[in-house]
Amino acid sequence: SGHLGSSRVEQERRLMHLVAFDGTAPPLPATPRGGPLSRSPPPSVVGLVIGQTPRDDLAAPLRRAAAAGAARSGGAAAIALAVRGALDGVCEGALPLTPPPPQPPPGLPPSPVDASDCPLITRLRDGTPVTVREAALTPLLQRQLDAHAAALGGRGAPCVAVLLCAGRFDGLRLPSERITLLRPFAAAADAAARLGVRDALLCVPTADQQPYALARWRPELPAAAAIATCVLPEEPGEAELQQAAAAARALPAEAAIVLDFVGHGASVTRRMRELAPGRVVVDVGGEALAAVEGLLAGELRACS
């Protein structure tokens, strides 16, 4: 008695659409008389930013990736999308801001760094740029992840939590078996391995992040890999893109370019490929979005 005819199923699918989650329940198809729907609830998505919300520049690409995943599944399921910020609710006086690190004395090499404590750049709600260390952000992100798991309550649908930052954040734990945590760095490292990347130019948004990027990527590449870094700002101009391409040309011909940042946008990746023809370009943020799309497509096929 709980079975829907094929025409009714198609009608329900046409009625469903992608929505941005604003705290209200996502639209669901009506339950027919005679029993519940035979399919499982669709998954939801939560984006975790390291600053304060709103961050429409990061939420919009995530929303498009979720829509693409729904389209790939063969239907048009309703994907609830939330965005939470690590610094949301943190008063100004309690913000764990990081001063610029001291420079080593002339002639001395820099001290070794902890790859999981990178000084990360982000924004406050009013757009003010700030720098916060990864170790200080980890418990704040965990608090947001735990709160989101609690807000899901007893709903049995899976949730994909997407970290919208290139840091490792090894200390984050899953508060529920229903939640899958997607780290962009891990997605990019998997892509680099799949593409056979040996040597790499790591493009990071600030000079302070260069030694941390080296420490983060060194274990992911062959022991004899040639690895260099360069600064590519969050919103690079043509001259800065040209400089990054020139830095790549100083490495072996097969060296890849890694855009080690979440938020550049597809236009930056596309222009870098134009300036460095024949080279692999791994966009950390782009790899995360592709992983979201694929993961949601698989989840939706499983619950349809």
Distance between CA atoms of residues 48 and 142, nearest Å: 10
According to the model, what pLDDT value does residue 16 have?
35
Distance between CA atoms of residues 168 and 260, nearest Å: 11
Residue 239: its H or E element? helix 238-249
According to the model, what pLDDT value does residue 19 have?
34
- The radius of gyration of the chain's CA atoms, rounded to the nearest angstrom, is 21
Lowest average pLDDT, out of 1-10, 16-25, 97-106, 289-298, goes to 16-25
Alpha carbon distances (Å) from 128 to 7, 88, 144, 197, 233: 52, 14, 21, 36, 16
According to the model, what pLDDT value does residue 76 have?
62
- Tokens for 20, please give them: 């941005």
According to the model, what pLDDT value does residue 112 have?
82
According to the model, what pLDDT value does residue 108 have?
54
- Tokens for 113, please give them: 């760094």
pLDDT band at residue 235 under the 50/70/90 scheme: very high
In this predicted structure, the answer to whether residue 195 has a pLDDT above a threshold of 80 is: yes
Distance between CA atoms of residues 17 and 109, nearest Å: 55
Q: Is 161 helix (H, G, I), strand (E, B) or coil?
A: strand
Q: What is the pLDDT of residues 159-177, one digit of tens each?
A: 999 999 999 999 999 999 9
The amino acid sitting at 151 is A
- List strand residue ranges (DSSP E) for the chain, in order: 44-49, 81-85, 119-123, 129-133, 159-163, 179-182, 200-204, 227-231, 256-259, 281-283
C-beta of residue 116 within 8 angstroms of C-beta of residue 169? yes
* Whole-structure pTM value: 0.82
In this predicted structure, the answer to whether residue 21 has a pLDDT above a threshold of 50 is: no
Q: What is the pLDDT of residues 251-297, one digit of tens each?
A: 999 999 999 999 998 999 999 999 999 999 999 999 999 999 999 99
According to the model, what pLDDT value does residue 184 have?
98
According to the model, what pLDDT value does residue 302 have?
77
Alpha carbon distances (Å) from 247 to 202, 229, 251: 10, 8, 7
- Tokens for 57, please give them: 């520049």
Q: What is the pLDDT of residues 65-85, one digit of tens each?
A: 999 999 888 766 678 999 999
Lowest average pLDDT, out of 45-49, 51-55, 73-77, 149-153, goes to 73-77
Burial class (CB in 10 A: 0-12, 13-18, 19+), 287: buried
Q: Is 228 helix (H, G, I), strand (E, B) or coil?
A: strand
According to the model, what pLDDT value does residue 34 have?
37
Residues whose CB falls within 8 Å of the CB of residue 202, separated by 6 or more in sequence, listed in order: 210, 213, 214, 217, 227, 228, 229, 230, 258, 260
Q: How does the average pLDDT of the chain come out, rounded?
A: 85
In this predicted structure, the answer to whether residue 23 has a pLDDT above a threshold of 90 is: no
